[in-house]
Structure 1
Amino acid sequence: MLMSNTDRPARLHFMANGFRVLAPGDHVLCAVSRARIPLDDLRYWSVAEQAAYASAAIASEAMAPR
């Protein structure tokens, strides 16, 4: 039986120039907004936090010094 990755969150390991899929899926959730991000649209993440972000603005806000 084939398993579909549709509507299943992926588990990723974020690296400086990309990411490695640890568990297959079709999306990840934004660490701040909890918005669903399709893997094909994932552009912003933090290697240190191992977190995905939905937009550049959200990523900048999350990584800003406090």
Structure 2
Amino acid sequence: MLMSAGRPARLHYMANQFRLLASGDHVICAASGERIPLDELRYWSVARQEPYASAELATRAMVTVA
């Protein structure tokens, strides 16, 4: 995967994977603002197209909507 050091990537989040739309080496957590390296990204919302730094943050974001 082609990555640009220091630049945030733009991704399309799908059920079991994500697609790189614009090269970068990280994304920003939608809940905490924390920088998440792409190789450590494990949690996201397909419906909202948002990444999360942890399972706890992802769960909290989904619960606040319901």
TM-score for the superposition, normalised by structure 2: 0.91
| Pairs aligned (count) | 63
Q: CA RMSD in A?
A: 1.1
| Structure 1 residue ranges without an equivalent (≥5) | none
Task: Extract structure 1 runs of 4+ deviating beyond 2 A.
Answer: none
Name stretches of at least 5 consecutive residues in structure 2 with no aligned partner.
none
**Identity value in percent:** 63
Bigger-Rg structure (1/2): 1
Match of 1:17 in 2: 16
TM-score scaled by structure 1?
Answer: 0.91
Answer 1 or 2: which has greater helix percent: 2
Paired position in structure 2 for 1:42:
41
Give the whole-Å Cα distance in 1 for the aligned partners of 2:31 and 2:55. Answer: 12
The aligned counterpart of 1:57 is 56
